[in-house]
Amino acid sequence: MTTDEKVRRAVDLARREVNRGQSALALSHLKGVQFDVEDVQGTQPWADYQLTSAEALAATNDRAAKSEFEEALARISNLHEPDAAMQMRAHEHFGAYLVGKQRRSLARQHYAAAKQLAVERSWHEDTARIQLLIIAVDLESDDDNQIGSLQNLRSAAKERGYTAQELLSAWMLYCGAREDDGQDILAARKRNDSMASVEYFRSLLRSIRNVDE
């Protein structure tokens, strides 16, 4: 097994453990190749090692994750061959970590960078997923109680495995309906104070899927 293959295998195993919520095991896999990584500088495994390390630390809410993500982004930008998917992943997961640290403004910047990469490559599902994250950050930043409606939308979507594109379509339809529902100030206040139920979004999502079918 070459050094490149050894690092790739360790990183793949580590990422699997991160996805399973086993960050300690992930870091253990990475530690096993920490001295081999420098022999593959400038390659995809070299950058992926750093990113996976950042993701494992972020999963445990470790403060060191911030600098690890920053180093990961630096490595990705210095790859011999660009890797847009990894760069998008780094920005998205760094953004999620920053949200957890209440750094919403900075998180939004990373989400926006991730979305731009997805838009440029016509990765529609990725674009929709990240746009929903941006919407959530904006609602939280504004202390808008419509974050409850967005949470209800996500709850409704779990039942039939709706795509991010379907969720985003439902959210945009909901926002459009709220804007059209009355014009005076009192009506606007009532709209702002109310949240859409899970059942409302179930119905809306079903209608979207039926139209698509």
104: pLDDT confidence band, cut at 50, 70 and 90? very high
25: pLDDT confidence band, cut at 50, 70 and 90? very high
Alpha helices (runs of H) in the chain, residue ranges in sequence order = 3-19, 23-31, 44-59, 65-77, 84-100, 104-120, 124-141, 147-157, 164-180, 185-193, 198-212
Asked whether residue 18 is assigned to any structural domain, the reply reads: no
pLDDT, tens digit, for every residue of 9-22?
Answer: 999 999 999 999 99
Q: What is the rounded distance in angstroms from the CA atom of residue 163 to the CA atom of residue 209?
A: 10
Out of 35-49, 89-103, 193-207, least confident range = 193-207
Asked whether residue 202 is assigned to any structural domain, the reply reads: yes
Mean pLDDT of 201-212: 86
Asked whether residue 140 is assigned to any structural domain, the reply reads: no
**% of the chain surpassing 70 pLDDT:** 92
Domains: count for the chain = 1
pLDDT score at 183: 42
The domain in which residue 192 lies consists of 147-213
